[in-house]
Amino acid sequence: MTRLRTALLSSLLLAAALPAPALFAQPGEAAAPAAASFDARAGQIVGLLTGRVPFADSFALSFQAAVPEAQFRAIAANLIAQYGQPIAVDSTASDNGRSGTVRLRFERGIATVRLDIGPPPEARITGLQFTGFTVSDDTMERVTAGIAALPGRSGFLVAEIDGAAIRPIASADPDRQFATGSTFKLYVLDELAAAIAAGERRWRDVVPLSHLSFSSAATGNWPPDTPVTLQTLANWMISVSDNGAADTLIHLLGRERIEARMRAAGHSAPSRNIPFLTTVEAFALKGDNFADLRAPFIAGNDAQQRRILDANRHRFTLAQVDGVSFGGEPRFIDDLEWFASPMDVARVLVDLKARRSDAAMAAMAINNGVGPAAAADWSWLGYKGGSELGVLSMSLLGRRKIDGKWFVVTASWNNDKADLDGAKLVGLVTRLLALAAKDGVTPSAPPPAP
């Protein structure tokens, strides 16, 4: 469960977490060599993906440390499986000769690639990031078939949102419950926004960072009780799926109130998430240190499970969680997780939108989940993802540029036997989003109320 965080699926296909190079072109004669170096490296991308250009000679050591060659080859193979062989660079654009955009043509689509290089004369690649794909002659039926072919269990929903109405356009198993990882944080955000709308709290309220957790991109190793605002916690929880921020908010708001909010938002099987676990509680129950409590917790009803949590509230802390046991294969994803159907996710997104909270919507839009190229057809795009071993989920709420209509695109993929290839789901969801952005998609009849 070391990956219980957002699948920062905006540009996950290939991205090294490295500092950006300086964005200043040298004056005079230095500008031309820099531009030539950028175009030369762009021209090598096809060969790098197909293995004809040596990996070690092309990438900076910092990139190689972040993305080893074996990982690069695996990602390249996945891209080729989805989009066919890379054929040629159609165009490049760079203002400074060090960073820019490359349009790369594959057999079945065109990729938008962010390319960063180091200074001449070596000008090695420091960043290579696939930020979006346009698939030739794509259809909902083709994407549906791609999602159905994923190993394990999967489901999705593309729907137009009109007020409280959810009007499906395409779907597969939209009412089936899936483990969704950190997508549960939408319910925490919904309750926080509701409490603020009721005047019980304010976004600028300062509270202590009271509960630290694993996989906390923002609060990892922070001192306990560091003062932070509620808006900061919400931003961290949604944009980088910070687990410490989420657990602090769950304890602050109260799990029972979040459970009530989940019911009010229309979750079709709320008992699957009652009691509403913190991330540390989920880590603890999945790990080996509390193996004696796992079976009775899974077998218990809601009340019995709540008693186990209450009786062990002082033991279920970050310091007591066995992090060593999380690795290699999925752990209890059918029993110890947060669950929702694609339609449930659509309902909570509708509930959040109806709250008319600028701060809550802004938190969702910090990381749009798919990168700038895929977001270009949307005037507003919010996102929440979730992942752990064997679990991936992506959910977007967007306002379409061409007509101002609102849409939900959500998909979940579970496999209790093996970890998942995140790039596959990224590509499929990005294609769903692109299809939803086209004028003329026709919703079907609205589903019955839950």
Per-residue confidence (pLDDT) for residue 14, from 0 to 100: 43
- pTM for this prediction: 0.84
**Do 126 and 193 belong to one domain?**
no
Mean pLDDT of 1-10: 35
pLDDT value of position 160: 97
Residue 358 in any domain: the answer is yes
Does the pLDDT value for residue 30 go beyond 70? Answer: no
Helix (H, G, I), strand (E, B) or coil at 283: helix
The share of the chain scoring above pLDDT 90, in percent, equals 75
User: Highest mean pLDDT: which of 96-105, 217-226, 271-280?
Assistant: 271-280
The model's confidence at residue 144, banded by pLDDT at 50, 70 and 90, is very high
The SS3 of residue 434 is helix
Domain assignment present for 345: yes
Whether the per-residue pLDDT at 25 is higher than 60: the answer is no
What are the tokens at 446?
């609205």
Of 119-128, 246-255, 423-432, which has the strongest mean pLDDT?
246-255
For residues 268 and 257, give the distance between their C-alpha atoms in angstroms, rounded to a whole number.
17
Q: How confident is the model at residue 204 (pLDDT cuts 50, 70, 90)?
A: very high
What tens digit of pLDDT does each residue of 66-86 get?
Answer: 999 999 999 899 889 888 999
Element (H, E) at 381: strand 378-388
**Mean pLDDT to the nearest integer, 117-141:** 88
Q: Span 376-403, mean pLDDT?
A: 96
Segment among 14-23, 82-91, 298-307 with least mean pLDDT: 14-23
Whether residue 234 sits in one domain with residue 158: yes
Confidence class for position 28, pLDDT limits 50, 70, 90? very low
Cα separations (Å) of 231 from 190, 201, 246, 267, 363? Answer: 13, 11, 12, 25, 8
Q: Which position has the token pair 């949102």?
A: 161
Residue 26: pLDDT band by 50, 70, 90 thresholds? very low
pLDDT attached to residue 194 = 98
pLDDT for position 120:
86
168 in the same domain as 126? no
DSSP state of 320: G
Per-residue model confidence as pLDDT tens digits over 228-246: 999 999 999 999 999 999 9
Task: Tell me, yes or no, whether 128 lies in a domain.
Answer: yes
Establish if 290 belongs to a structural domain. Answer: no
User: Which residue has tokens 């270009």?
Assistant: 376
What pLDDT score does 444 carry? 62
Nearest of 103, 15, 137 to residue 422 by alpha carbon: 15
Q: What is the dihedral of CA 385, 391, 392, 395, to 10 degrees?
A: -50
- The residue among 135, 150, 173 that closes a domain is 135
Closest by CA to 345, choosing from 278, 272, 267, is 267
Closest CA to 390 of 311, 319, 334, 324: 334
Average pLDDT over residues 76-105: 91
Residues 6+ apart with CB under 8 A from 188: 237, 246, 249, 250, 253, 258
- Is the domain of 247 the same as that of 170? yes
pLDDT(183) > 80: yes
Residues 217 and 354 in one domain: yes
Q: In angstroms, how far is the first alpha carbon of the chain from the final one?
A: 31
Q: How confident is the model at residue 442 (pLDDT cuts 50, 70, 90)?
A: low
The reply to whether 130 and 180 lie within a common domain is: no
pLDDT in tens, 397-420: 999 999 999 999 999 999 999 999
pLDDT at position 83 is: 87
Task: Kindly report the backbone phi and psi dihedral angles of residue 410, in degrees, each rounded to the nearest multiple of 5, phi listed first.
Answer: -140, 140
- What is the arithmetic mean of pLDDT over 329-345? 96
- pLDDT reading at 32 higher than 80: no
Q: Are residues 106 and 187 in the same domain?
A: no
CB contact at 8 A, 16 and 66: yes
For residue 18, is it within any domain?
no
**379 and 261, same domain (yes or no):** yes
Structural domain contains residue 325? no
- The C-alpha atoms of residue 208 and residue 228 are separated, in whole angstroms, by 6
Range of the domain at 50: 28-135
86 upstream amide cis, omega within 30 of 0: no
Q: Dihedral of CA 138/140/146/150: which sign?
A: positive
Query: Both 82 and 157 in a single domain?
Result: no
Residue 376: strand, helix, or coil? coil
The CA angle 304-254-262, to the nearest 5 degrees, is: 80
Closest-CA residue to 329 (of 286, 290, 282): 286
Between 2 and 321, the more confident residue is 321
**What per-residue confidence (pLDDT) applies to 6?**
34
| Mean pLDDT value of segment 14-27 | 32
Whether omega for the bond prior to residue 443 falls within 30 degrees of 0, making it cis, is: no
Q: What mean pLDDT is predicted for residues 415-433? A: 91
Element (H, E) at 127: strand 125-135
> Where does a domain end: 110, 135, 160?
135
Strand order in the sheet with 406-414: 165-172, 153-162, 406-414, 391-400, 378-388
Q: Is residue 430 one of the residues assigned to a domain? A: yes
Q: What is the pLDDT of residue 12?
A: 35
Would you state the pLDDT for residue 7?
32
Contacts of 327 (CB under 8 A, 6+ apart): 2, 389
Q: Is residue 37 exposed (0-12), middle (13-18) or buried (19+ Cβ within 10 Å)?
A: buried
Query: What pLDDT was estimated at residue 449?
Result: 52
54-75 average pLDDT score: 93
Q: Where are the alpha helices (DSSP H) in 164-229?
A: 185-197
Alpha-carbon distance values, 326 to 1, 86, 171, 320, 334 (Å): 5, 36, 33, 14, 16
pLDDT tens, position by position, 253-306: 999 999 999 999 999 999 999 999 999 999 999 999 999 999 999 999 999 999
| Residue 56 exposed, middle or buried by CB count within 10 Å (0-12, 13-18, 19+) | exposed
Residues 114 and 162 in one domain: no
Domain membership flag for residue 287? no
Report the chain's mean pLDDT, rounded to a whole number. 89
We report the CATH number of the domain holding residue 165 as 3.40.710.10
**What are the tens digits of pLDDT across the range 357-374?**
999 999 999 999 988 888
Residue-wise over 387-404: b if at least 16 C-beta within 10 A, else e? Answer: bbbbbbbbbbbbbbeeee
Query: In this structure, are 75 and 52 located in the same domain?
Result: yes
Domain count of the chain?
A: 2
Whether the predicted pLDDT of 23 surpasses 50: no
Residue 160 CA to residue 441 CA, distance in Å, equals 9
Are 245 and 368 found together in one domain?
Answer: yes
Least confident residue range of 121-130, 319-328, 338-347, 360-369:
319-328
Q: Which of 101, 135, 169 is the last residue of a domain?
A: 135
